[in-house]
Amino acid sequence: MKTNSSLSTTPYTLSNMAKRILIIEDDKIMARTLRAELSNEGLEVELAFDGEAGYQMILEQKPDLILLDLLLPRLFGFELLERLRKHKDRSLAALPVVVITNYPEDEYYRKAEALGVKDFVVKSQTSLAEVVALAKKYL
């Protein structure tokens, strides 16, 4: 039997599907720049510009990773995270979250740690390349 070598014989599985990241960030320039960087790495990226919209997108899309700002309109980042961690769907409650913020206060760090975030990134002290590396690490 003759085969067409241009057709892939690799099965379409979860391991070779694009990983999905949800960025919840009200700074649209920052969010879009980060989306471009992550997309260049072959990742599927969605954006939400306020906490309430972000929470709804989490419920609807079940991303593989969430990059979460803390100071957000409509629903503060910690409120979103608390709601998520208490969700009855344990797969949602356990989603990995990386906090990205401009607030390096110890109080915020301790609270994020208590809520099980994977990492805590201070935007002004972290390059885009470092954020991309962290995202890939937690996928």
Q: Give the model confidence (pLDDT) of 83-114 as tens digits.
A: 999 999 999 999 999 999 998 889 999 999 99
Bridge partners (DSSP) of residue 24 are 48, 68
What residues does each domain of the chain span?
A: 14-137
- Asked whether 55 and 99 are in contact (CB, 8 A), the reply is no
**Bridging pattern class, strands 97-101 and 20-24:** unpaired
How much is the average pLDDT of 55-76?
97
CA angle 46, 52, 54 (to 5 degrees): 15
Residue bearing the bigger pLDDT, 100 or 1: 100
Q: Is residue 10 scored above 50 in pLDDT?
A: no
For 6, other C-beta atoms within 10 Å of its C-beta total 5
* Torsion angle (degrees, nearest 10) of CA 44, 15, 99, 29: -20
Res. 4 pLDDT band, cuts 50 70 90: very low
**Topology at the third CATH level for domain 14-137:** Rossmann fold (3.40.50)
CA distance 65 to 73: 21
How much is the average pLDDT of 53-57?
98
